Amino acid sequence: MNMTQLTGVGPALAAKLAKLGLNSVEDLLFHLPSRYQDRTRLVPLHALVPHTSCLIEGQIANSSLQRGRRVSLKVNISQNGATLGVRFMHFHGNQTKSFTKGRNIRCFGEIRPGPQGLEMVHPEYVLFDEVAPTLADQLTPIYPTTQGLSLTRMGQLIALAWHELDQKNLRLEELLPRHLITQYQLPSLEDSLRQLHYPSLNQNPDELQNQVPPAKLRLVLEELIAHQLTLSRAKQHHQSLPAPAFTNNQKLEQSFIKTLPFQLTNAQQRVWQEVSSDLARPLPMVRMVQGDVGSGKTVIAALAACRAIDNGAQVAVLAPTEILAEQHLHNFSHWLEPLGVNVIWLTGKQKAQTKRQSLAAIANGEGQIIIGTHALFQTAVNYQYLGLVIIDEQHRFGVAQRHRLIQKAPKGNGLHQLVMTATPIPRTLAMSAYGDLDHSVIDELPPGRKPINSVVLNNLKRPEVIERIHRACSTGQQVYWICPLIETSEVLQCEAAQDTATLLSQQLDNLVVGLVHGRLSSLDKANTMARFKSGEVQLLVATTVVEVGVDVPNANLMVIDNAERLGLAQLHQLRGRVGRGQAQSHCLFMYQAPLSKMGRERLDILRQSNDGFVVAEKDLQLRGPGEVLGTRQAGAVGLKIADLLRDAHWLPEVSEVAKRYASHPQISAKLIHRWLGDNQYFAAV
């Protein structure tokens, strides 16, 4: 039923609701609370517990303006000899006048430790003289809202939706398989939704949010099944067009293997067999190859490229950053140009004449491997016969961007896609966010590689660290010094790296210090990296631009300054830049004290484990799926009620149930629309 059929909902309000994906009355009923607040009882001031949210009441004892780095309004509340400070950082003149001594006030907010005892900062409040406001008679649901749409109004609209349902004697369609409802003794869909919108008084808000009673499980299972069905549809879509079957004539492929100065590991051989089998089928390959830093994913990509070229097709290699694209250009050119393969470079920053030459070579088929960044899928790029796309660190690309590259395939044809990532993705996330991809894991490092020795150090140890760098470089080793993002401004970040490089040059005046950061030109970055690879630069100061793709086997020591500012996965990626040779390597994580409990826990994980999948699982527990996948993909796991960590054990059963829906396309479509609406686009390409 259309949203504007509800009383009081006009076009303007409907437009605001549409921003939240709410386009029908049923959408409102499935707009579930993100959390709950207990406003049913008052907590005495003497019984307050820090870091909890509660409703309090008392008399205003006094109010004053507090001056510090910024002016704040402090209101002191008293009740039976106990006091609480209430602080406002943003306020206006009339507000300050309203907090008169002796008036009664009721506040709801989080209790925090403050400079002068416990306090509430920016609580919701109401002032009253004699008659106290009525307490809520049930837990208060907190709904996701948007600008111009208050929480109160959202609650009213949801109540209106239920009223409309009851008045017209309508029923929500049951789409969950009967055997699941019976097996787990689940309530009906309507009962489940009502219990979540209007929870009973005896329920604990935290338990209601974090635990899964039957009413919640009913909806969790339905939502997870809807997501699995969407991923299945995406896979069908990927494979709806025919793709060229790349037969194994082994000409270029075998020549490439013979030139390699090492043998493929067992894991590489297994993964190549999986990729090879996919390429030989007349259906588009959609395979993700996961492998820890240094495991040899690029060799698999090069083998796949050889297979495509042997079959007369072009290959596009898409990287998220120029520095990673340049590393691929170096590897592919070094490996394949001696075998007669023409490798083309295409980025947005190329000079006009060079770009014209690249575009011409791509269009006439002379360019066999085309390497670059987002420029690869621009309108002006026309491939003669694109057959394989290799996408590195694919979670950094938006879905629409990848889709535009896939559209470069010959008319009526699909494309083989090989997606690589050095970000280990826990199985839970892989099943839920990338379930449309086949998965291969290179779970073995090349022989002879030694585990990196990781040490966590207080920044006060800086002089000893500088002395250690001096000793390492005097024995012919090379060193990275990483400066993480200090401000959101790239300019300030680069200035910090420049300052560090200048300081280290003064303290280590016998060493050649290089500097790489995001604001350098591609040429300057490439020149500095080339000097570092050749050994001319002994100490490389860099921002996190060296996180991926840089391979200098002689660099055996890395120092990461202010390591507490970076995420686990990023720290693990950076650490992987060392340990690429045969010698023992070390990574020093320096932190600025005091270190938070979570900061200590994160750095301890890195100190204890070199296994990317262990690190990734811990990262998932600490930060949640949206953060681990990166902001671009957060929407892809935009679950309303299910939680990938809490509900992971249901995924195998959910996956099996989703397969049974294949023979019921109409029910599948209804379930997908109910839970994803129009947001299913992310998985449909």
- DSSP code at position 2: B
Query: Is the separation of the CB atoms in 612 and 293 below 8 Å?
Result: yes
* E strand or H helix that includes residue 328: helix 322-336
Peptide bond into 11 cis (omega under 30): no
Enumerate the β-bridge partners of residue 591.
458
**C-alpha to C-alpha distance for 611 and 451, rounded to whole angstroms:** 9
| pLDDT tens digits along 14-70 | 999 988 888 888 999 999 998 888 899 999 999 999 988 899 999 999 999 888 778
Residue type, 592: Q
Residue 635 is predicted with a pLDDT of: 36
Once rounded to an integer, what is the mean pLDDT over residues 247-256?
86
User: What value does the mean pLDDT take over residues 478-484?
Assistant: 89
Q: Does the pLDDT of residue 349 top 60, yes or no?
A: yes
577-to-132, 227, 381, 546 alpha-carbon distances in Å = 64, 36, 33, 8
* Band (518; pLDDT cuts 50, 70, 90): confident
Q: The tokens of 544 are what?
A: 């996190």
Q: CA torsion sign, 253 to 258 to 260 to 265?
A: positive
Strands in 314-318's sheet, in edge-to-edge order, are 343-346, 369-372, 314-318, 386-392, 416-421, 286-291, 438-442
Q: What is the mean pLDDT of residues 557-572?
A: 85
The dihedrals phi and psi of 585, each to the nearest 5 degrees, come to: -115, 160
Least confident piece of the model among 368-372, 447-451, 542-546, 618-622: 618-622
d(CA 584, CA 246): 42
**Residue 679: predicted pLDDT:** 55
Q: What's the pLDDT at 437?
A: 76
Give CA–CA dist 372/633, Å, rounded. Answer: 22
**Do 327 and 550 form a contact (C-beta atoms < 8 A)?**
yes
- Please give the pLDDT value at position 615: 77
Summarised one tens digit per residue, pLDDT across range 310-323 is 999 999 999 887 77
Q: Which domains does the chain have, with CATH numbers?
A: 3-36+141-207 (no CATH), 46-135 (2.40.50.140), 212-448+646-685 (3.40.50.300), 453-609 (3.40.50.300)
Query: Which of 383, 372, 270, 253 minimizes the C-alpha distance to 308?
Result: 253
In this structure, the number of other CB atoms found within 10 A of the CB of residue 489 comes to 10
Q: Which percentage of the chain shows pLDDT scores above 70?
A: 90
Q: Is the peptide bond before 594 cis (omega within 30 degrees of 0)?
A: yes
pTM beyond 0.85: the answer is no
pLDDT, average across residues 65-77: 87
The CA angle 529-535-539, to the nearest 5 degrees, is 70
- Both tokens of residue 564? 């507490």
> Could you count the other beta carbons within 10 Å of the beta carbon of residue 136?
15
What single-letter DSSP state applies at residue 68?
Answer: S
Is residue 80 helix, strand or coil? Answer: coil
Phi, psi of 396 (to 5 degrees): -85, -5
Q: What Rg do the C-alpha atoms of the chain give, in angstroms?
A: 30
Please report which confidence band the pLDDT of residue 624 belongs to, taking 50, 70 and 90 as the band edges: low
Instruction: Enumerate the β-bridge partners of residue 559.
Output: 481, 588
Higher pLDDT, 473 or 520: 473
Q: Which residues of 138-168 are buried (b: 16+ CB within 10 A; e: fewer)?
A: ebbbbbebeeebeeeebbebbebbbebbeee
Alpha helices in 556-596 (DSSP H): 568-575
Mean pLDDT of 514-523: 80
Q: What is the largest CA-CA distance in the chain?
A: 91
- Write the Ramachandran bin of 55: left for phi over 0, alpha for psi from -120 to 50, otherwise beta: beta
Lookup: tokens for 517: 């950061």
Pairing between strand 386-392 and 124-128? unpaired
Cβ atoms within 10 Å, residue 248: 14
List residues bridging with 513 in a β-sheet.
539
Cα separation, 579 vs 293, in Å, equals 10
Over residues 375-397, the mean pLDDT reads 84
- Residues 393-412 have a mean pLDDT of 70
Tokens linked to 58: 């008392």
| pLDDT for 397 | 60
- Give the pLDDT confidence score for residue 620 in this predicted structure: 67
- 140 versus 432: the higher-pLDDT residue is 140
Read off the pLDDT of residues 657-683 as tens digits, 9 standing for 90 and up: 988 887 888 999 999 888 887 655 444
- Around Cβ 128, how many Cβ atoms within 10 Å? 12
What single-letter amino acid sits at 444? E
pLDDT band at 121 (very low <50, low <70, confident <90, very high): very high
DSSP for 425-449, written as a single string: --HHHHHHHSTTSEEEEE--PPTTP
Nearest to residue 66, comparing CAs of 81, 86, 48? 86
Task: In whole angstroms, give the CA distance from residue 651 to residue 658.
Answer: 10
- pLDDT score, position 487: 46
| Average pLDDT of the residues of the chain | 85
Using CA atoms, how far apart are residues 78 and 56, in angstroms rounded to an integer? 10
> Phi first, then psi: what are they for 194, rounded to 5°?
-60, -40
- Amino acid occupying residue 662: A
More confident residue, 40 or 324: 40
CB 59 within 8 A of CB 83: no
In this structure, the number of other CB atoms found within 10 A of the CB of residue 240 comes to 10
Decide which of 544 and 263 is more confident.
263
Q: pLDDT at residue 278 above 80?
A: yes
Q: Give one DSSP letter per residue of 294-314, joined into a string.
A: TS-HHHHHHHHHHHHHHTT-E
Banded model confidence at residue 7, pLDDT cuts 50, 70, 90: confident
The mean per-residue pLDDT over the stretch 80-84 comes to 93
Token pair of 351, please? Answer: 């000079």
In tens, the pLDDT along 221-238 reads 999 999 888 888 877 777
